[in-house]
Chains A and B, each alone.
Chain A
Amino acid sequence: MTALLTEKNGAARRPVHPGGPPPASRRRTGRERAYDDVPRWQIYLPLGLYLLFTLIPFYWMLLFALRPAGSTALVPWPMTGEHFSKVWNERSFAVFFQNSMIVGIATLIATTLVALAGGYALARFDFKIKGAFMLALLCSQFIPGALMLVPLFEIFRNLQMINSLWSVVIAETVFQLPLSIILISGFIKNVPVSLEEAAWVDGCSRFTAFRAVVLPLLRPGLIAVGSFAFVHSWNHFLFALMFLSEQDKQTIPVGLNTLIGADSVDLGALAAGGVIAAVPVVIVFAFIQKWLVTGFSAGAVKG
């Protein structure tokens, strides 16, 4: 990795090792400490309160998912798997899970590839319609997916793609693209052009140079963008609700909504379904957490 990128990741990774020594760049001068020395209680008290607000709902869901029906204990003990086996088998969450995985992974691949091409063009070339293209990307942020449902539904009906998971993949990809392109072009701009030029001088084609020199340096950025795409399409509800009417084509959020809408809400099943919906995104989140802040500061905020 180049110094540039290790430095960037270093900044984001630092908090992961809170006990570690302070980085060399931070001189502990008296003057600097004057700013940094916020009284500890002013950090831990509000943070603790906010953590309670964040974590109690998660705990609540786990509690309902794990304790037997009818129990009112505040600790899920004795534990039961009945709710999980119920939603997984009887409520077809096994099928929903598989569908959501297909949509998530296909959207991840499509978004990353298309955005990589577009981002490279924006980062490395000047071309006539570049300004217009940038404007289109920014403007599309203002166009509400929910308000496009009607025409999108029409389009997919004409393409005979209603009840095909691909309709959802296309719609998700399209709405992920603008932000992904902006993010990726931000990452590519961070890779010095001189690295590519050196490879060209050595006889590499533009593509080989890109693959051998730029691509490895983009890994953190691509992981961030791909993860956003996966998490978004995993979570997104409306497209799947509208384009997939057959039960065995539906995704997890739609499945959850049917549980919410059931006449007599089975809270245990609902909670178990929620846990199943949360697990993949929690895993992805834990994985990308250290790149999250860097990802935004490299790509989105500074444009």
Chain B
Amino acid sequence: MAQPAAVATPPPKAPRRGTATPRRLPYLLIAPAGLLMLGFIAYPVLSVFYYSLQNYNVTKPWRNGFAGLDNFRRIFTEDDQFRSTLAFSAQWVFTQVSLQLVLGLALALIVNQTFIGRGISRAMVFSPWAVSGVLTSTIWILLYNSSTGFSRYLADAGIGEYGTSVLSDTGTVFWAATVTELWRGVPFFAILILADLQSVSKELYEAASVDGAGRLRQFFHITLPHLRDAIILATLLRGVWEFNNVDLLYTLTGGGPAGETTTLPLYVANTGIEGHDFGYASALTTVAFVILLFCSIVYLRLSKFGGDDK
């Protein structure tokens, strides 16, 4: 992976003025990024760990103070909502990542072919990538609307019935939200895979077809092995992203109906921002972070990322 970067030697000329000698220059260059990340990523992360050991509730300041592991005890022994949101998060991430992988791979393979109208098709199928979670929700709320949405026209045509709102029915809300998230998730996956697909050497396919390998065998023996690392990385990043991201579900379902679509981060946001219980929210955050880290490490181990293929 990380190749040693070319060391750019400065030209033999008069000694430089000021502090920007080449020895210090790289540090100077990463300083702005480094300081911003220390201040607004590292420090917040540490303070989350710190708050997780505190009673810290803006509305009940008289109880604030060191709480030890009490927040964590509450999470694991008393909090039923934690368990159900965690279960939903797992279901949500698994469904999204597996469907996005299958559909994104198929889409990438299709638009990697040469055909008439490829450029414009690519632009169109990738376009939801640029659309935000809130805008996605907006669009699909219009589609799902029970009185003027798509279902009304289907009902007019004799399919389904009037007045069904898929977003307020516990039986359908999961799939309604899933389709919505797929709409904007698949293009991103497809873009990542397509980027890697373009570096497969044509000669490999030529050689394979000379040897009489059909398209299916070529796919499983050339394309898929080549894409392996990209797929592992893309699924991992998407998994983390789908776990963390809250804006779609927050605006589409608000976590409802009846908490049916509340993910762990959504629960954290509700506890911390609306419930003002920062200490408990921080403990939940810490638990979510540990779970995420653990799953990522296990995933990378199991998939032998960057390992001994070939």
Contact = CB atoms under 8 A, between A and B. Distances in A.
Interface of A: 11, 15-19, 22, 29, 31-32, 34-36, 38, 40, 43-44, 46-47, 50-51, 53-58, 60-61, 64, 72, 74, 113-115, 117-118, 120-127, 129-130, 133-134, 136, 140-155, 170-171, 173-175, 177-178, 181, 189, 193, 196-197, 200-201, 203, 206, 231, 234-238, 242, 253, 256-257, 259-260, 265, 267, 270-271, 273-274, 277-278, 281-282, 284-286, 289, 292-294, 296-297, 300-301, 303
B293 to A, nearest CB: 7
B8 A297 contact: no
B29 interface: yes
Interface string B274-297: 000010011001001100110010
Interface stretch (B77-85, B92-100, B168-176, B237-245): B237-245
A34 B212 CA distance: 10
Contacts of B48: 147-148, 150-151
A57 B162 CA distance: 20
Contacts of A140: 37, 41
B90 interface: no
Nearest to A294: B195
Contacts of B4: 126
B139 A277 contact: no
Interface of B: 1-2, 4-8, 10-11, 13, 22, 25-27, 29-30, 32-34, 36-37, 39-45, 47-48, 51, 106-107, 110-111, 113-135, 137-143, 145, 148, 150, 152-153, 183, 187, 191-192, 194-196, 198-199, 202, 205-206, 208-210, 215, 218, 230, 233, 237, 240, 243-247, 250-251, 265-266, 268-269, 272-273, 278, 281-282, 285, 288-289, 292-293, 296
A296 B230 CA distance: 11
Contacts of A118: 29-30, 32-34
A229 to B, nearest CB: 13
Contacts of A53: 183
User: What DSSP secondary structure best describes chain A's contact surface?
Assistant: helix
Contacts of A301: 192, 195-196, 230, 233
Contacts of A133: 30, 34
Q: Which of A257, A259, A292 has the most CB of B within 10 A?
A: A292
Contact of A171 (B40, B247, B272): B40
Contacts of B135: 235, 253, 256, 274, 277-278
Given A61-B138, A235-B131, 17 more contacts: A43-B113, A72-B148, A113-B32, A114-B36, A117-B33, A118-B34, A130-B26, A144-B265, A147-B265, A147-B289, A155-B39, A155-B43, A171-B40, A178-B37, A237-B134, A289-B123, A297-B195
Q: Which of B119, B130, B282 has the most CB of A within 10 A?
A: B130
A144 B29 CA distance: 26
A160 to B, nearest CB: 16
B230 A173 contact: no
Q: Which of A16, A118, A281 has the most CB of B within 10 A?
A: A118
B210 A200 contact: no
B41 A143 contact: yes
A34 to B, nearest CB: 4
A51 B273 CA distance: 39
A197 B10 CA distance: 8
Contacts of A296: 191-192, 195
A137 to B, nearest CB: 8
A253 B131 CA distance: 11
Contacts of A43: 110, 113, 115
Q: Which of B134, B137, B152, B198 has the most CB of A within 10 A?
A: B134
Contacts of A64: 142, 148
A55 B125 CA distance: 8
B32 A277 contact: no
Nearest to B117: A18
19 contacts: A19-B116, A31-B209, A47-B125, A64-B148, A114-B32, A127-B27, A136-B42, A142-B296, A144-B243, A144-B244, A146-B265, A147-B289, A148-B41, A151-B44, A201-B11, A256-B251, A259-B138, A260-B137, A292-B191
